[in-house]
């Protein structure tokens, strides 16, 4: 999957050293919803082997155009009957954040999920203090906050609220910054999308 700034590809065994490093990085682990003990490379390999067998979860490495591995995204818990899936995105090194890679990865994955996989809804969970993810999904990519789970996650010695966020295929088609990610069949609808969202222009 090719975006404007990134490429999304399948996870290879040679990528595991990066995944282990990011998993064990405290600055990243404090921002994700899930929690676990630090993992060894042996455990990372076991995780990889187990995930090869799953048909409802697909993870993708995020690369920049220089083929540098910079992050991870994917579709989790794909519900084939109801056409929805959990998703998330992680940019590893701090030096790669703030350059639009996260935005491009999210939008590229949304386009793939809606027009190739055939899903109708993507959803995710964000910790209340994870401002970078909130800005990326809600402000830049047009997602909506559907609800809040109060004091749901224990992190850093206290409980935090958890935000349930989502985006529908129809939201994506009406979101002004998404027009560059729509398939060719929608090119004729761009003017309509721009008109609908003209008051929602944002700066990147």
Instruction: Look at residue 203 in the predicted model and tell me its pLDDT.
Output: 37
Give long-range contacts, CB 8 A cutoff, 24+ apart: 33-39.
33/125, 33/126, 33/127, 33/153, 33/162, 35/155
| Residue 177 pLDDT grade (very low, low, confident, very high; cuts 50, 70, 90) | very high
| Pairwise pLDDT comparison (201 vs 99), residue with the higher score | 99
Domain residues of the chain, as ranges?
6-200
Tokens linked to 59? 């993870």
Q: What is the mean pLDDT of the chain?
A: 90
Tokens linked to 17? 């050293």
Instruction: Look at residue 200 in the predicted model and tell me its pLDDT.
Output: 45
Give long-range contacts, CB 8 A cutoff, 24+ apart: 94-101.
94/27, 96/64, 96/68, 96/70, 96/71, 97/132, 99/5, 100/4, 100/5, 100/204, 101/5, 101/6, 101/62, 101/64, 101/70, 101/71
pLDDT for residue 169 is more than 50: yes
| Pairwise pLDDT comparison (156 vs 138), residue with the higher score | 138
pTM over 0.85: yes
Q: What is the pLDDT of residues 181-203, one digit of tens each?
A: 998 876 555 444 444 444 444 33
* Domain 6-200 grouped into CATH 3.30.365.10: no
Instruction: Look at residue 184 in the predicted model and tell me its pLDDT.
Output: 81
Report percent pLDDT > 90 for the chain: 78
Q: What is the pLDDT of residues 6-52, one digit of tens each?
A: 999 999 999 999 999 999 999 898 888 987 899 999 999 999 999 99
């Amino acid at each position: 999957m090719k975006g404007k700034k990134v490429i999304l590809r399948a996870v290879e065994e040679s990528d595991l050293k990066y995944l282990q490093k990011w998993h064990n990085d405290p600055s990243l682990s404090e921002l994700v919803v899930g929690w676990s003990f630090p993992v060894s490379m042996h455990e990372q390999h076991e995780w990889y082997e187990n995930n090869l067998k799953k048909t409802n979860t697909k993870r993708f490495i995020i690369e920049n155009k220089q083929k540098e591995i910079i992050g991870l995204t994917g579709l989790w818990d794909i519900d084939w009957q109801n056409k929805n899936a959990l998703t998330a995105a992680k940019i590893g090194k701090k030096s790669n954040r703030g350059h639009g890679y996260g935005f491009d990865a999210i939008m590229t994955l949304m386009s793939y999920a809606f027009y190739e996989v055939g899903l109708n809804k993507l959803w995710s969970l964000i910790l209340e203090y994870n401002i970078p993810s909130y800005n990326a999904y809600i402000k830049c990519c047009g997602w909506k906050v559907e609800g809040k789970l109060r004091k749901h996650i224990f992190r850093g010695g206290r409980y935090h609220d958890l935000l349930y966020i989502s985006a529908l295929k129809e939201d994506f088609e009406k979101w002004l910054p998404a027009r560059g990610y729509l398939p060719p069949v929608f090119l004729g609808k761009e003017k309509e999308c721009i008109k609908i969202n003209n008051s929602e222009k944002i700066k990147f």
